[in-house]
Structure 1
Amino acid sequence: MRPPRPLPQTLAERPFPVAKALELGISPDRLRARDLDAAIHGARMPREAGLDTRCLALLLVCRSDAVICGPTAALLHGLPMPMRFAAATPLHVAVPPHAPAVRRAGVVGHRLSIDEEDVTIVREIVLTRLARTWCDLAACLTVPELVAAADSALRSRSTDADALRTAVEAYPDFRRRQMLRTALELADAASESPKESELRAIVILAGLPHPEANVVIRRHDGRVVARVDLLFRSYGEVLEYHGDYHRTDQRQWRRDRTREAELESLGYHVMEVTEHDLRRPHELVGRIARNLARRGWTGTVTHARGNGASHRR
Structure 2
Amino acid sequence: MRPADTPGNDKPFLRSENGEDQLSAWRFRRAHRALFRGVYVSTETPVTLRLLGEAALLLAEPRSFLSHHTAARLWGGVVPDDADVHVTYPRMRAQCFGIAAHRPKARQHVVSWMGLPMTAPAQTFLDMSHLLGLVDVVVLGDSLVRKRRFTPDELVALAEHHRGPYSRLARRAARLVRAGVDSPMETRLRLLIVLAGLPEPEVDHRVYDEHGNVLFRYDLSYLQWRLIIEYDGRQHAESEEQWHQDINRDEQLDDWELRRLVVVAKDIHRTPGRTLTRIVRAMTRQGMPVPMLTDEWRRHFPTRESGISLPA
Matches of 1:121 and 1:224, distance apart in 2? 37
1:152-199 alpha-carbon deviations (Å, 9 max, x no partner) = 33344322446534543454543x222221221122223344433332
Structure 1 residue 72, shift from structure 2 partner:
0.9
Query: Partner residue of 1:214?
Result: 204
Query: Partner residue of 1:251?
Result: 241
Query: Partner residue of 1:137?
Result: 128
Q: Structure 1 residue 111 and structure 2 residue 103: aligned?
A: yes
Structure 1 residue 243, shift from structure 2 partner:
1.5
1:240–1:271 CA contact under 8 A, matched in 2:
yes
Q: Cα–Cα, structure 1 residues 31 and 147, in superposed 2: closer, same or farther, change >3 Å?
A: farther
**Structure 1 vs Structure 2 CA RMSD:** 3.3
Q: After TM superposition, list the pairs within 5 Å mapping 1:35-114 onto structure 2.
A: 35-47=31-43, 48-81=46-79, 84-85=80-81, 89-96=83-90, 99-100=92-93, 102-114=94-106
1:184-238 alpha-carbon deviations (Å, 9 max, x no partner) = 112222334443333223322221122122224589xxx9873321111233221
Matches of 2:157 and 2:215, distance apart in 1? 42
Query: Partner residue of 2:308?
Result: none
TM-score, structure 2 normalization: 0.79
Give 5+ residue unaligned stretches, structure 2.
303-312
1:126-157 alpha-carbon deviations (Å, 9 max, x no partner) = 21111110112224444333223323333443
Q: After TM superposition, list the pairs within 5 Å mapping 1:189-268 onto structure 2.
A: 189-216=179-206, 226-268=216-258
Structure 1 residue 80, shift from structure 2 partner:
2.8
Give 5+ residue unaligned stretches, structure 1.
1-6
Paired residue type of 1:246 = H
Identity among equivalent pairs (%): 25
Structure 1 residue 22, shift from structure 2 partner:
7.2
TM-score, structure 1 normalization: 0.79
Matches of 1:267 and 1:298, distance apart in 2? 21
Q: Cα–Cα, structure 1 residues 22 and 30, in superposed 2: closer, same or farther, change >3 Å?
A: farther
Paired residue type of 1:242 = D
Which 4+ stretches in 1 moved above 4 angstroms?
Answer: none
Q: How many residues align?
A: 291
Q: Secondary structure at the match of 1:33?
A: helix
Query: Partner residue of 2:309?
Result: none
Q: Cα–Cα, structure 1 residues 187 and 199, in superposed 2: closer, same or farther, change >3 Å?
A: same
Q: Secondary structure at the match of 2:220?
A: strand
